[in-house]
Structure 1
Amino acid sequence: MAPAVPTTMDRPHFIGIGGAGMSGIAKILAQRGAKVAGSDARESATADALRALGATVHIGHAAGHLAEDATCVVVSSAIRPDNPELAAAAARGIPVVHRSDALARLMDGLRPIAVAGTHGKTTTTSMLAVSLDTLGLDPSYAIGGDLAGPGTNARHGAGEIFVAEADESDRSFHKYAPEVAIILNVELDHHANYASMAEIHDSFETFVGRIRPGGTLVVAADQAGARDLTARVADREGLNVVTYGEGEDADVRILSVVPRGLTSDVTVTLDGRTLTFTVSVPGRHYAHNAVAALAAGAALGVPADELARALGSFTGVGRRLQLKGEAAGVQVIDSYAHHPTEMTADLEAIRGAAGDASRILVVFQPHLFSRTQELGKEMGQALALADSSVVLDIYPAREDPVPGVTSDLIIEAARAAGADVRPEHAMAAVPDVVAGMARPGDLVLTMGAGDVTDLGPRILAALENR
């Protein structure tokens, strides 16, 4: 039997319903029987999926889209105050609910696992959702990307476990009260909301304080920011802390990560036992994500050996080193990486999987002016790991332009690091540019959190037609 839908959310209206986080909550509410409606800027496969669940999806934003019987309006931090639907809600006295509050309500009465960290949240959440489902536990989940298997980012399950991606970018993860929390890493990002590492640490420490009494924090032992956080919270009463990593002092120790093409064999020790399992995505960082998932599931009482085997059923998540296809002997892979640490990890993973005989070509789209302003130099240095790169204009998302902040900051840093990099201001020109650069055996990565992902099929078509 599905948990009851809160009365204030039985006829919700979502502004920006097609977004990764918003659509997931809308899908779960629809599956629980709520009358869901909302609006988005454009048509998409997500809008179609919501309609298939019975939701009403309007394209464009207008006050008239807000139904007379709407019981609340759900928004994310990206919705601007002058949105006409938000203004209509205020005029009519309809409660406005932040996305994080809506997700928190969906977890009521269940056993939540919340996955946090500057990088790796979507992959780790997905690994847990898939493996728990493989074991027949039928979890609910809300993820920031589409699973390669089920092909969706959220689902209401009949089981007692709810796996959720916990977003630190706007401090919304402070709303959750998980039984188990994972912290994969702690780094400075989201510069529009955090001015320093001290603020980041304070925010993550607040998140840890939300773990239910007697609950468990699973935290990386090898990453400096996570270690610092662990030192700050390790002595908290009623909190079980489980560390994982390659260091000898890790509670769940990674003994080896053996690459095997686009997969890895991972061996760990957990509670005195040695377990070996396969991770079906390349790269040491994805192996660490899988071990975090293993430790979290074990903390909820899932048998570790069964969970280890089930993790092998995870085949990836959209935009996380996702193979889009092959044409003219060239593979095109999509990467969501947009922070220098993520970019470096994905490029190293692809280099390790492909070997030195293959060239790696990157089409990189910077995401956010604030991030580029603060980390543009490091992004350029990361691109030096590729054989050649094309850098697009900054994808603004929710931000207004910042004077003097352009992709040139990245290009100059990349060239200073010895990288072969070129600018391209016209998205439409990229497929032919890449087709002219690539040769059989190359790997092309479309990289970034914006609409660069749309280029994969176009690049494949250009390769076929050259």
Structure 2
Amino acid sequence: MAPGLPQSVSDMDRPHFIGIGGAGMSGIAKILAQRGARVAGSDARDSATAEALRALGVTVHIGHDAAHVCPKTSCVVVSSAIREDNPELARAKELGIPVVHRSDALASLMDGLRPIAVAGTHGKTTTTSMLAVSLTSLGLSPSYAIGGDLDAPGSNALHGEGGIFVAEADESDRSFHKYRPEVAIVLNVELDHHANYASMDEIYESFETFTSKIVPGGTLVVAADHPGAAELTRRVRAGAAQASGLTIVTYGESQDADVRITAVTPRGLTSEVTVLIDGAPLTFTVSVPGRHYAHNAVAALAAGAALGIPAADLAGAIKSYTGVKRRLQLKGEAASVQVIDSYAHHPTEMTADLEAMRGAAGDARLLVLFQPHLFSRTQELGKEMGDALALADASVVLDIYPAREDPIPGITSALIVDAARAAGADVHGESDKAAAVSMLAGMAKPGDLVLTMGAGDVTELGPRILDDLAKR
């Protein structure tokens, strides 16, 4: 095993990852490989991410088979998406090989470093990426694990030589309770992941547990403008966390925010942001559009400052962040129509991205191809998704992407289509993806913006829309 390789969870010199191609799993596998571990894993299908791991010497099997787990495997790493009947998981248990949850593996990677954990219902990937890129551009060589690629496949994680580790902290399965950050960011707090949380009280309790894990003398950076985050702040201040010397830094446009945003000025596909930090004004550029991305940048600024990095240096470095895959990513242009990809799948995210693109579009029309994600989310938030789509000039809604869930009787995309129409939207439901591509391309006129939106495989349809447009 390479010197310094963590062993706090189990012996991780020969780990096997089930579902190694996933965003979270692949990042941990990459860092372990870069630290000298002999990493192997499997995934349901081949991908550019799998190929990037192979380039690091990782063994990646396609398909799940018990034979992929050998007696020399030191531990098997799983995520919450791996079912109990997975043959590799069954084989690991048969051989007595330790089974490690992804969050425990990630927590072990942070041992001995200065972790920044980025949490919230929305914006985690963007904010984590902003920090990773900014700290790297300042020459601090951070380690990081992000829930999306910065540019090339496999760019979602890196083992750096510096002492800072930036990690996306996922609340969906409560796995963010495993981390012990020096600085934690909470961007917002809303009800989501309905299969795991039954109420806002459960959400608050989960985030309170997360904040209680901040090391003594650490810092909580939390949004002042978001109602859920403000309520979390109230609860944390009323609790025992203050006894551990926790510093709370609020940020936002509220007059009483510790880091106060005084102006967000759109500049096409960028924004100019002015904040008051430590009583002094600071203006910097955010190279992605939208007020919500400006707020994410300020959260990153406040977190870096909490580690002692000069705010002015961070402000200049934030400009070097130009986006992450699937976060308002320009896929291309054909027939004078731009096609942009958005990962938004919760109504709040959808609204934020649609408003950002509406601001960038000017007088151009905004057309959306939306794919709902999860039956449980559609059941609880279908109306709100429909309301968000009313911000588009026209939209097409695909069938629900199930991901890890089984269908729920009576829950279909029709719930969203009906809600959008009730809100006055021009919306069409379409089950056939080829037909949806043709429909969007047929709607588009020179100057329009087309947005593919959702957390599923709708991202694959942007290039197909561009191909169709180019042939017309």
Query: Residue 195 of structure 1: which of 190, 194, 198 is its match?
Result: 198
Amino acid at match of 1:325: G
User: Gapped runs of 5+ residues in structure 1?
Assistant: none
Go from structure 1 to structure 2 and tell me whether the alpha carbon gap of 1:104 and 1:151 turns closer, same or farther (over 3 Å shift). Answer: closer
1:232 to 232, 235, 238: 235
Aligned to 2:111: 108
Residue 5 of structure 1, CA deviation: 3.9
> What residue in structure 2 maps to residue 345 of structure 1?
352
> How far did 1:149 drift?
7.7
**Is the 8 Å Cα contact of residues 435 and 462 (structure 1) preserved in structure 2?**
yes
Match of 1:399 among 402, 405, 424: 405
Deviation per CA, 1:53-90, whole angstroms, max 9, x where unpaired? 10000000010111231000000000010000000001
Residue 317 of structure 2 is aligned to residue 310 of structure 1: yes
Question: 1:52 corresponds to which residue?
Answer: 55
- Identity rate, percent: 78
Q: Match of 2:71?
A: 68
Distance 1:151 1:326 in 2: 25
In 2, Cα distance between the equivalents of 1:153 and 1:351? 29
Shift of 1:191: 0.1
Q: 1:13 to 1:449 in 2, by over 3 A?
A: same
Q: Which residue of 2 aligns with 1:174?
A: 177
Amino acid corresponding to residue 288 of structure 1 in structure 2: H
1:378 to 375, 379, 384: 384
Q: Distance in 2 between matches of 1:11 and 1:247?
A: 50
Tell me, in whole angstroms, the C-alpha distance in 2 between the residues paired with 1:70 and 1:427.
41
**Counterpart for residue 280 of structure 1:** 287
Matches within 5 A, 1:21-100: 21-100=24-103
Superposed CA RMSD in Å reads 1.1
- The answer to whether structure 1 residue 3 and structure 2 residue 4 are counterparts is yes
Q: For the residues of structure 2 that align with 1:132 and 1:97, how far apart are their CA atoms?
A: 30
Separation in structure 1 between the aligned mates of residue 324 and residue 154 of structure 2, nearest angstrom: 9
Letter in 2 for 1:316: G
**Counterpart in 2 of 1:13?**
16
Do the aligned partners of residues 153 and 76 (structure 1) sit closer, same or farther apart at CA in structure 2, a change above 3 Å counting?
Answer: same
The equivalent of 2:444 in structure 1 is 438
Give 1:433 deviation, angstroms.
1.5
Once residues 273 and 427 of structure 1 are traced to their aligned partners in structure 2, the CA distance between those partners, rounded to angstroms, is 52
Gaps of 5+ in 2: none
Task: Give the match for residue 297 of structure 2.
Answer: 290
Tell me whether 1:329 sits opposite 2:336 in the alignment: yes
Distance verdict in 2 for CA 1:62–1:339, change over 3 Å: same
Q: Give the residue type in structure 1 aligned to 2:280.
A: R
1: distance between equivalents of 2:458 and 2:70?
35
Choose from 233, 256, 266 the match for 2:263: 256
Q: CA 1:130–1:443 in structure 2 vs 1: closer, same or farther (change >3 Å)? A: same
SS of 1:371 mapped into structure 2: helix
Q: Is the 8 A contact 1:5 1:32 kept in 2?
A: no
Of the three residues 139, 153, 174, the one matched with 1:136 is 139
Per the alignment, residue 454 of structure 1 pairs with 460
Kindly state the Cα deviation for residue 386 of structure 1 after the two structures are TM-superposed: 0.2
Q: Check the 8 A contact 2:52/2:153 in 1, yes or no.
A: no
User: Does structure 2 retain, via aligned residues, the 8 Å contact 1:16–1:39?
Assistant: yes
1-side partners of 2:305 and 2:4: how far apart?
A: 25
What is the CA-CA distance between 1:151 and the residue it aligns to? 6.4
The answer as to whether partners of 1:5 and 1:34 remain within 8 angstroms in 2 is no
Using the alignment, how far apart are the partners of 1:441 and 1:19 within structure 2?
35
Give the deviation of 1:124 after TM superposition: 0.1
State how far apart, in whole Å, the 2-side matches of 1:229 and 1:370 are: 25
Deviations 1:23-52 (A, max 9, x none): 000000000000000000101000000000
SS at match of 2:357: helix
Structure 1: distance between partners of 2:393 and 2:358: 10
Partner of 2:361: 354
Q: Shift in Å at residue 223 of structure 1?
A: 0.3
Taking the aligned partners of 2:164 and 2:299, their CA distance within structure 1 comes to 17
- 8 Å contact from structure 1 (residues 119, 185) kept in 2: yes
- For the structure 1 residues 309 and 269, does the alpha-carbon distance in structure 2 shift closer, same or farther, using more than 3 Å as the test? same
1:425 to 402, 409, 431: 431
The 8 Å contact of residues 5 and 33 in structure 1, kept in 2 or not, is answered as no
Match of 2:370 in 1: 364
| 2:123 is equivalent to residue 117 of structure 1 | no
Given that residues 49 and 154 in structure 2 are in contact (C-alpha distance below 8 angstroms), is that contact kept between their aligned partners in structure 1? no
Distance in 2 between the 1:244 and 1:298 partners? 12
SS in 2 for 1:9: coil
**Matched AA of 2:324:** V
For the Cα contact (< 8 Å) 1:281–1:316, is it kept in 2?
A: yes
How many Å separate the matches in 1 of 2:34 and 2:115? 18
State the secondary structure of the residue aligned to 2:251.
strand
Query: CA offsets per residue over residues 433-459 of structure 1, 9 Å max, x none?
Result: 211110101000000000000111111
TM-score, normalised on structure 2? 0.97
SS in 1 for 2:11: helix
By how many angstroms is 1:148 displaced?
3.2
2:48/2:153 contact within 8 Å kept: no
What amino acid maps onto 2:292 in structure 1? Answer: H
CA contact (8 A) 2:52 2:154 kept: no
Deviations 1:115-143 (A, max 9, x none): 00000000000000000000000000000
When the two structures are superposed, what TM-score results if normalisation uses the length of structure 1? 0.99
> Residue type matched to 1:125 in 2?
T
* Aligned structure 1 segments of 4 or more residues deviating by more than 4 angstroms: none
Distance 2:227 2:446 in 1: 40
CA deviation after TM superposition for structure 1 residue 297, in Å: 0.1
**Aligned residue-pair number:** 465
